[in-house]
């Protein structure tokens, strides 16, 4: 690629003040080659095998380090730059104890921490995932990573209107699976990666305009925040060939708004997991026909099984098990452990629940670990969040259960509103009571400037209860207590 188009931009790093750093193909080739030689030299001190651990800041330098590790044949672990030192060291210690030595790529200084290699299979890269449980899991993608132009992009990305040489915007953090893999595929497919150093809706809209972005991947949280800040002529979206969003909870009004702004044939919803056990894809057209679906399997077989691993008929809710062909590149595994849910013939589950319709379209159910029991009845936060999110004033919402001496748990909602507009108790109750059962109604509602989410857009439910006694951390807090005591 560098020989064909040495001056073509490979990565464009952007700051909100307008400053940009352009990394051209010839520079990426030269810098990653030199860096790979350095990684290889240091790894020899550990017997030739080590994991390259990178603080995955959203900068062109991070892309250089990722490509250098891959071309050196060494597995790479992109780390959350905001990880506290203790949490970072715990993760690296886990890698050393279960796989091999680690090399921390920090600026020009490399720190090698040696450990006895225990793994028997070579990994291509590692991705950390906590799921909804919050526990540390590290998924290993079998390796080493090789480049085969016939396999880039993946079948799912191809169906999502991916084009070789496209201008691709990376919105999410590079230590998460979807942004990491989309970025890697973009570099290998001769695209130009547009990489803002942070997510700010107004900043992102300016980038889409100025850099004539053609393809990007979002989370539902990104979608909601961008819609709330859109201004001017929406014709700017006509240049976009494809938008891919992940299958987390997406309020219906947010999805429908995007489908109004962008032709439904250019919006796609992907359901997959860092564990890489399979994937489904739904176009906007399919979603309109079957609201809520995450699509059908892409080179993936799907089964819905009960708790005893017996198959369930169409329309019945159970655990989702998937199987994708692994003959070409193997199947991702947890580092140091074996997935707990696997059938004898290779179908795996990451703990999600859902059902299939008669045509094989998958629908997701709320995660069971999020379930709240109120007066003996099961309540799923997503059901309540979906209703509250439909309120015209609400920009974001999270629901959590807190202990209650009478009912076992009570429902508490944390909401933010557009422009911090005040949300009256009467208005919210009127909206909820017509759509929710009595045991689903919030007993307390707290209005905040923002709902706590991580970089991937997932609600940090474990932080919610602490907010109720720490109002000084959240400006403009409006506490509506005992909202539904009756």
Q: What is the structure's pLDDT at 452?
A: 86
Quick one: which of 383, 363, 376 has its CA closest to 440? 383
Task: List the 101-106 sheet strands across, edge first.
Answer: 109-113, 101-106, 50-55, 76-79, 123-129, 137-142, 333-334
- pLDDT at residue 397 tops 60: yes
In a domain, 376, yes or no: yes
Task: Please give the average per-residue pLDDT across 35-60, as a whole number.
Answer: 92
Share of the chain above pLDDT 70, in %: 87
Query: Residue 136 has what pLDDT?
Result: 64
Query: What band does 340 get if pLDDT is binned at 50, 70 and 90?
Result: low
Q: How far is Cα 164 from Cα 188, in angstroms, rounded to an integer?
A: 9
Residue 3: inside a domain: no
Co-location of 112 and 179 in the same domain: no
Q: What is the pLDDT of residues 412-424, one digit of tens each?
A: 889 998 888 988 7
**Among 111, 142, 173, where does a domain finish?**
142
With respect to residue 213, please indicate whether it lies within any of the assigned structural domains.
Answer: yes
Mean pLDDT for all residues in the chain: 85
User: Is the pLDDT at 321 greater than 50, yes or no?
Assistant: yes
Strand partners, 355: 363
The token duo for 218 is 């979002």
- Model confidence at 473, pLDDT cuts 50, 70, 90, reads very low
Name, of 102-116, 253-267, 365-379, 440-454, the range with top average pLDDT: 253-267
Report the pLDDT averaged over residues 187-205: 94
Q: Do 103 and 164 belong to one domain?
A: no
4 assigned to some structural domain: no
Confidence bin at 235 (pLDDT 50/70/90): low
Residue 196 has a pLDDT of: 97
Among residues 316, 346, 365, which one ends one of the domains? Answer: 365
Q: What is the extent of the structural domain holding 75?
A: 9-142
What's the per-residue H, E or C state across the chain? CCCCCCCCEEEEEECCCCCEEEEEHHHHHHHHHHHHHHHHHHHHCCCCCEEEEEECCCCHHHHHHHHHHHHCCCCEEEECCCCCHHHHHHHHHHHHHHCCEEEEEECCEEEEECCCCCCCCCEEEEEEECCCCCCCEEEEEECCCCCCHHHCCCHHHHHCCCCCCCEEEECCCCCCHHHHHHHHHHHHCCCEEEEECCCCHHHHHHHHHHCCCCEEEECHHHHHHHHHHCCCCHHHHHHCCEEEEECCCCCHHHHHHHHHHCCHHHEEEEEECCCCCCEEEEEHHHHHHCCCEEEEECCCEEEEECCCCCECCCCCCEEEEEECCCCCCCCCEECCCCCCCECCCCCECCCCEEEECCCCCEEEECCHHHCEEECCEEECHHHHHHHHHCCCCEEEEEEEEEEECCCEEEEEEEEEEHHHCCCCHHHHHHHHHCCCCHHHCCCEEEECCCCCECCCCCECHHHHHHHCCCHHHCCCCEEECCCCCC
Residues 136 and 187 in one domain: no
In this model, does residue 411 exceed pLDDT 90? Answer: no
pLDDT computed for residue 21 by the predictor: 96
In this prediction, residue 448 carries a pLDDT of 86
Q: Do residues 95 and 218 both lie within one domain?
A: no
The CATH number assigned to the domain holding 176 equals 3.40.50.12780
The enclosing domain of 441 has a CATH number of: 3.30.300.30
Query: What's the average model confidence in pLDDT over 233-238?
Result: 69
69-92 pLDDT tens trace: 999 999 999 998 988 788 888 889
Mean pLDDT over residues 336-363, rounded? 85
Domain assignment of residue 342, yes or no: yes
* Rounded Cα distance, 301 and 360, in Å: 10
| Among candidate residues 230, 281, 221, 295, the one with its CA nearest the CA of residue 260 | 230
User: Among 314, 332, 365, where does a domain finish?
Assistant: 365
pLDDT(34) > 70: yes
Q: Is the pLDDT of residue 331 over 70?
A: no
Domain at 80, CATH number: 3.40.50.980
Q: Which of 90, 186, 88, 98 is nearest to 139 (CA)?
A: 98
Residue 475 pLDDT > 60, yes or no?
Answer: no
Range of weakest confidence among 201-205, 359-363, 384-388 = 384-388
Q: Is residue 105 part of a domain?
A: yes
Q: Tell me: pLDDT of 336 over 80.
A: no
Q: Is 486 domain-assigned?
A: no
Q: In terms of domains, do 183 and 45 share one? A: no
pLDDT of residue 227 exceeding 90, the answer is no
What pTM did the predictor assign?
0.80
Same domain, yes or no: 409 and 323: no
Looking at the chain, how many residues does it have? Answer: 486
**Domain check: are 132 and 281 in the same one?**
no
Contact present, 204 and 219 (Cβ < 8 Å): no
- pLDDT above 70: residue 119: no
Q: Could you give the number of structural domains in the chain?
A: 3
Q: What pLDDT was estimated at residue 234? A: 60
pLDDT score of 479: 33
Both 340 and 376 in one domain: the answer is no
Report if residue 176 sits inside a domain.
Answer: yes
Q: Using pLDDT thresholds of 50, 70 and 90, give the confidence band for residue 281.
A: very high
Residue 39 confidence (pLDDT) above 60: yes
Give the Cα separation of 191 and 193 in Å (integer).
6
Residues 198 and 295 in one domain: yes
- Across the range 226-247, mean pLDDT stands at 80
184 and 54 together in one domain = no
Percent of the chain with pLDDT over 90: 43
Residues 216 and 157 in one domain: yes
User: Looking at the structure, do residues 206 and 332 belong to the same domain, yes or no?
Assistant: yes
Q: Is the pLDDT of residue 485 over 50?
A: no
């Amino acid at each position: 690629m560098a020989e064909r188009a040495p001056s073509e931009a490979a990565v464009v790093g952007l700051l909100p003040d307008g400053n940009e750093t352009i990394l051209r193909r010839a520079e990426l080739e030269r810098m990653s080659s030199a860096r790979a030689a350095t990684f290889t030299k240091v790894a020899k001190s550990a017997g030739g095998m080590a994991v390259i651990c990178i603080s995955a800041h959203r900068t062109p330098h991070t892309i250089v380090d990722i490509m250098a590790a891959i071309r050196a044949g060494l597995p790479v672990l992109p780390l959350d730059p905001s990880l506290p030192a203790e949490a970072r060291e715990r993760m690296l210690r886990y890698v050393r104890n279960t796989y091999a030595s680690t090399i921390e790529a920090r600026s020009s200084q490399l720190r090698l921490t040696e450990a006895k290699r225990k793994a028997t299979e070579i990994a291509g890269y590692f991705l950390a995932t906590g799921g909804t449980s919050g526990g540390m899991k590290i998924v290993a993608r079998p390796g080493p990573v090789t480049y085969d132009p016939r396999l880039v992009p993946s079948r799912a990305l191809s169906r999502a209107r991916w084009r070789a040489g496209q201008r691709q915007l990376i919105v999410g953090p590079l230590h998460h699976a979807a942004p990491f893999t989309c970025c890697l595929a973009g570099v290998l497919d001769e695209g130009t990666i547009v990489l803002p150093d942070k997510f700010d809706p107004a900043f992102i809209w300016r980038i889409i305009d100025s850099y004539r972005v053609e393809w990007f991947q979002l989370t539902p949280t990104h979608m909601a925040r961008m819609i709330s800040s859109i201004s001017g002529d929406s014709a700017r979206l006509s240049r976009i060939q494809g938008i891919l969003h992940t299958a987390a909870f997406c309020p219906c009004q947010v999805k429908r708004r995007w489908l109004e702004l962008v032709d439904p044939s250019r919006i796609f919803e992907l359901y997959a997991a860092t564990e890489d056990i399979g994937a489904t894809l739904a176009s906007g057209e399919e979603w309109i026909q079957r609201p809520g679906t995450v699509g059908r399997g892409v080179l993936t077989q799907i089964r819905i099984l009960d708790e005893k691993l017996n198959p369930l008929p169409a329309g019945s809710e159970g655990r989702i098990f998937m199987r994708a062909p692994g003959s070409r590149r193997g199947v991702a595994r947890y580092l140091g452990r074996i997935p707990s849910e696997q059938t004898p013939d290779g179908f795996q589950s990451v703990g999600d629940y859902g059902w299939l319709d008669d045509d094989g379209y998958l629908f997701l159910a709320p995660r069971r670990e999020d379930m709240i029991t109120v007066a003996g009845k099961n309540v799923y936060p997503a059901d309540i969040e979906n209703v509250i999110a439909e309120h015209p004033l609400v920009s974001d919402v999270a629901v959590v259960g807190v202990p209650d001496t009478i009912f076992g748990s009570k429902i508490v909602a944390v909401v933010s509103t557009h422009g911090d507009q005040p949300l009256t108790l009467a208005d919210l109750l009127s909206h909820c009571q017509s759509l929710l059962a009595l045991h689903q109604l919030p007993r307390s509602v707290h209005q905040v400037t923002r709902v706590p989410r991580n970089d991937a857009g997932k609600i940090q439910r474990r932080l919610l209860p602490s907010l109720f006694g720490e109002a000084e951390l959240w400006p403009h807090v409006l506490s509506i207590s005992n909202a539904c005591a009756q």
